[in-house]
Amino acid sequence: MLSLSKTAYDNALEMLARREHSYLELYKKLLSCYKEYEVEQALEKLKSQNYQSDERFSSEFIQMRFNQGKGPVKIAIDLKQRGIENFDLSEYDFFALAKQVRVSKYGEEVPKNYKEKAKQQRFLQYRGFDFEHIKQVGS
């Protein structure tokens, strides 16, 4: 919760002390209580001090979502909603993750009929995996 007795900078710093935020997230939150120029000044100061970093935020966000079993499509959408356009997912093995997610939900056995296969594919698609990952898993 934002405290109106504090400056935009202090509130943003407090939010960043709890967890990483993207520039856009902080901007939107602070704009509800402060003038645009105050918000921009505060965020630019935080960036220059390296307290706010979109690169650091995206790295932590990707790792968190990967650990939650989310696929690259979902992660990319979530990052773009937070104002992050440039990110690298190449170091993550989404093929192995898709298999792990499917096995943890449905077990080792590959589905034998079309209905069950379609159900598992929809589940993986909902989790944010693309067609290549789903196809490779064999569901």
Spatial CA neighbour of 14 closest among 46, 50, 44, 57: 46
Q: Is 131 exposed, middle or buried (0-12, 13-18, 19+ CB in 10 A)?
A: exposed
User: CA 74, CA 130: separation in Å to the nearest integer?
Assistant: 9
- Judge whether 139 and 121 are in contact, CB under 8 Å: yes
Q: What is the pTM of this model?
A: 0.88
* Residue-range domains of the chain with CATH: 8-52 (1.10.10), 55-139 (no CATH)
Q: DSSP assignment, residue 50?
A: T
What integer pLDDT is reported at residue 45 of this predicted model? 97
pLDDT digit string, tens, across residues 85-116: 999 999 999 999 999 999 999 999 888 899 99
Q: Identify whether the C-beta of residue 4 lies closer than 8 Å to the C-beta of residue 33.
A: yes
Please classify residue 37 by burial: count the beta carbons closer than 10 Å to its beta carbon, then call 0-12 exposed, 13-18 middle and 19+ buried. exposed
CB neighbour burial string for 25-36, b if at least 16 within 10 angstroms, e if fewer: bbbebbeeebee
pLDDT at 3: 62
pLDDT tens track, the chain, 139 positions = 666 668 999 999 999 999 999 999 999 999 999 999 999 999 999 999 999 999 999 999 999 999 999 999 999 999 999 999 999 999 999 999 999 999 999 999 888 899 999 999 999 999 999 999 999 987 5
